Amino acid sequence: MVKSILLLNGPNLNLLGTREPHIYGHTTLADVEANSRAHAAKHNATLDAFQSNHEGALVDRIQAARGRVDGIIINPGAYTHTSVAIRDALMGVGIPFIELHVSNVHAREPWRHHSYFSDKAAGIIVGLGVYGYQVAVEHVAVNFEERVKESKAAL
């Protein structure tokens, strides 16, 4: 059973709800996190949420999840397009993850089209607005069982 989910949000996602609402909508990060927790609970899973504007803090949080977390949902924000360090951290802990973007990055500036995460993600959710977080939680809680077994066997 998937018991423990970690939800990570990168830089500027603390401004959800007020930041460029025509792109990111009006829902706050606090609401996203509460809703994600509630959906995890429906599947008897716990969800920890962490947001940081600092790359190293996100790396530290991923490392601390090793052996404790079954699946990660990450919106790396702008680090999507730059961060080898966060990619390496995810690879290093071997925890399966979903990459998520509130906006459709592929319909935006060309430099948002490249991600350091997509080729390693179990799945990618883009452009569903904050509803994507709910989809990601449901998917991890219900469908990550096999991946969790594989990642635990590899530890």
Ligand X SMILES: O=C1C[C@@](O)(C(=O)O)C[C@@H](O)[C@@H]1O
Annotated binding-site members for substrate: 75, 81, 88, 102-103, 112
Tell the smallest beta-carbon distance from residue 101 to ligand X (Å): 4
Residues known to be catalytic? 24, 101
Binding flag, residue 9, ligand X (CB under 6 A): no
Q: Give the distance, in angstroms, between the CA of residue 64 and the centroid of all CA atoms in the same chain.
A: 15
Q: Which is nearer to ligand X, 9 or 151 (CB)?
A: 9
Report the chain's C-alpha Rg in angstroms: 14
Q: Within positions 91 to 120, which residues make up the interface with ligand X, using CB under 6 A? A: 101-103, 105, 112
Could you tell me the sign of the dihedral formed by the alpha carbons of 100, 102, 106, 112, in that order?
A: negative
DSSP 104-144: -GGGS-GGGS--SSGGG-SEEEESSTTHHHHHHHHHHHHH-
Burial class (CB in 10 A: 0-12, 13-18, 19+), 54: exposed
Tell the smallest beta-carbon distance from residue 127 to ligand X (Å): 8
Cα separation, 5 vs 121, in Å, equals 15
Binding flag, residue 130, ligand X (CB under 6 A): no
Q: Which is nearer to ligand X, 4 or 82 (CB)?
A: 82
Binding flag, residue 140, ligand X (CB under 6 A): no
Burial class (CB in 10 A: 0-12, 13-18, 19+), 12: middle
Candidates 12, 14, 28, 134: give the one binding ligand X (CB under 6 A).
12
Binding flag, residue 39, ligand X (CB under 6 A): no
- Using CB under 6 A as the criterion, what x/- string covers residues 64-83 for binding ligand X? -----------x-xx-x---
Tell the smallest beta-carbon distance from residue 85 to ligand X (Å): 16
Binding site for ligand X (CB under 6 A): 12, 75, 77-78, 80, 101-103, 105, 112
